[in-house]
Structure 1
Amino acid sequence: MTKNFNDLVADLSEIEGGYAGHVPPEWLQGRTAYGGLSAGLALAAAQKAMPDLPPLRSAQVAFVGPIAGDIRIAVDPIRRGRTASFIGSDISFEKDGEWPMGLRTTFVCMGERESSIDHVSHDYPDVPPPDIGKATSRGQALSFLQHFEFADIKGNPNQGPADYLRWIRVAERDGLDPMVELMLIGDALPPAAMKLVEGFGPISSITWIANVLTTTPETDDGWWLLRSRSDYARHGASSQVMSVWNTRGEQVLTGMQGVALFL
């Protein structure tokens, strides 16, 4: 039976220092868990351990090793300050009776504050939300993509050669925490450098830094516009800038990712 994200969170069982869980095959991306799933589980575990956390404002994610099967999530309240709370949430996986590290994260949670600075860069690529029933598609079975719906954007004149632009939503999103949803969808695009080659080849995300730009992320019908643009791809490595907007054209997340290229 296929399990959605909420099922995986509900199945987490409390252990000393965190939680135990399982990543089934349908959530894999190659031989490891889809990166957005891993980050989402890490955040959900942190929220479960500390339900009074302020809203997520920044995530630093390191993809250390392949995650699959039985996992453990260790939650570490690094610092609870007056302004910001820093939480570590690391995932290890069972391999030959040992538990090597698979994911290391640091989440920064912080509420809004009054400020004399008010500046927003309006670089929204102005594309309409998808026509539901015509433009959407589900990913293929036996892949993490089956848990998402997509709507491609064709012929946008502002796209570069290493530039993905796509509407995405979680197929079963009822009850999802909005911050966890951003982690879950934020890494759903292929690495932008993949547009520079024919077909697909082995790749591996190394790091992901994501900054949440609002304490109340909202959109219509679950649709988010994702963009990944690579400004450097050579010598087996790529750096890309990533953005997420809601259906009203408001940017809700921005970040960067380092990717290893084996092709």
Structure 2
Amino acid sequence: MLSLGEMLAGAEPIDGGFALEIGEDWLQGRTAYGGLTSAIALAVAQGVSDDLPPLRSGQLSMIGPLAGRIEARAKVLRQGRNATWVAAELTGEGGVGFTASFVFMRRIESVLSLDHYPLPDGVIPLDEAKPVPTDQAPAFLRNHFEVRFAMPKSALGEADLCWWVRPRERGGLSLEVECLLCGDVLPVAVWPLLGFNVPISSMQWHVNMLDASPTADGWWLIRSTSQFARDGGASEHIMQWSASGAPAIAGMQSVAVFG
């Protein structure tokens, strides 16, 4: 089994990006875990320039199954004085399986300073949090992440999950790539309402990067909630904080629910 850092370090350079192998240990069903493909897309996008500003936003589309050998390519769409737009694409044996559009923007002095994303009430401290059972979990979760329950059931809503998450191996990753790698770990919030045998598939994930600050021993707090589900689809909000309480990602995901 290879960590993402090891996969990236051993990637084969190709025109416009690199190629690498996604092993079965990274799969979620018949395709690679969405956080992995998102992180790979960001890694290839960051490779288009040595002086990209920080990541501000990403639109990530999970189009088709990706496993085995994949090719990752990226190109600059526009480079302005303050912001750079980069498109990334991952292809496999079946063609295009993943696309992404990233915006990188330099920090600018501003009179605005708002932060209304505090940690949820009732968060269980890391040293008191109990491990999430992963015996029946997808391969990627069993093999590559540590997860703990971060809030008691009594503090959660109807379609509401909150976990502590960290990768088992962090070497060779930028903080932004690590953020995305962890950000999709939780099951979709509506899954417990349906039973864990109902097929569910992420379709699109939009992320706004707030502050990818260093975390205590690699831990991130992630909360996924859903306020609307109907006609085979669910809309989910995913918030991510560092272990110190700094908001890292504000996101929204569109999910197909086949049951």
Q: Can you list the C-alpha shifts for 1:208-244, whole angstroms capped at 9, x where unaligned?
A: 0001112x52211111100000011111000000100
SS at match of 1:228: strand
Aligned to 1:61: 60
Runs of 4+ in 1 over 6 A off after TM superposition: none
Q: Do the aligned partners of 2:17 and 2:47 also contact (CA within 8 Å) in 1?
A: no
Aligned to 2:108: 113
Aligned to 1:211: 208
Aligned to 2:130: 135
> What is the alpha-carbon distance in structure 1 between the residues aligned to residue 250 and residue 151 of structure 2?
23
SS at match of 1:43: helix
Per the TM alignment, residue 142 of structure 1 is displaced from its structure 2 partner at its CA by: 7.5
CA 1:116–1:48: 2 relative to 1, 3 Å: same
User: Of residues 142, 164, 169 in structure 1, which corresponds to 2:166?
Assistant: 169
Aligned to 1:90: 89
Report the aligned-residue RMSD: 1.8
SS at match of 1:131: helix
Aligned to 1:201: 198
> What is the alpha-carbon distance in structure 2 between the residues aligned to residue 136 and residue 112 of structure 1?
38
> What is the alpha-carbon distance in structure 2 between the residues aligned to residue 139 and residue 77 of structure 1?
40
Aligned to 1:6: 5
Residue type of the alignment partner of 1:108: V
Unpaired segments ≥5 residues, structure 1: none
User: Of residues 95, 102, 124 in structure 1, which corresponds to 2:119?
Assistant: 124
SS at match of 1:121: coil
Equivalent runs, 1:249-260 vs 2, <5 Å: 249-260=245-256
CA 1:71–1:50: 2 relative to 1, 3 Å: same
Give the number of equivalent residue pairs.
256
Per the TM alignment, residue 176 of structure 1 is displaced from its structure 2 partner at its CA by: 1.9
Residue type of the alignment partner of 1:25: E
CA 1:227–1:137: 2 relative to 1, 3 Å: closer
Aligned to 2:73: 74
After TM superposition, the score normalised by the length of structure 1 is 0.92
SS at match of 1:192: coil
Per the TM alignment, residue 144 of structure 1 is displaced from its structure 2 partner at its CA by: 0.5
Q: Do the aligned partners of 1:139 and 1:148 also contact (CA within 8 Å) in 2?
A: no
Residue type of the alignment partner of 1:85: T
Residue type of the alignment partner of 1:201: V
CA 1:116–1:131: 2 relative to 1, 3 Å: same
> What is the alpha-carbon distance in structure 1 between the residues aligned to residue 151 and residue 114 of structure 2?
31
CA 1:203–1:142: 2 relative to 1, 3 Å: closer
> What is the alpha-carbon distance in structure 2 between the residues aligned to residue 139 and residue 173 of structure 1?
20
Which range moved further: 45-54 or 101-110? 45-54
Per the TM alignment, residue 137 of structure 1 is displaced from its structure 2 partner at its CA by: 5.8
Per the TM alignment, residue 7 of structure 1 is displaced from its structure 2 partner at its CA by: 1.2
After TM superposition, the score normalised by the length of structure 2 is 0.93
Per the TM alignment, residue 128 of structure 1 is displaced from its structure 2 partner at its CA by: 3.9
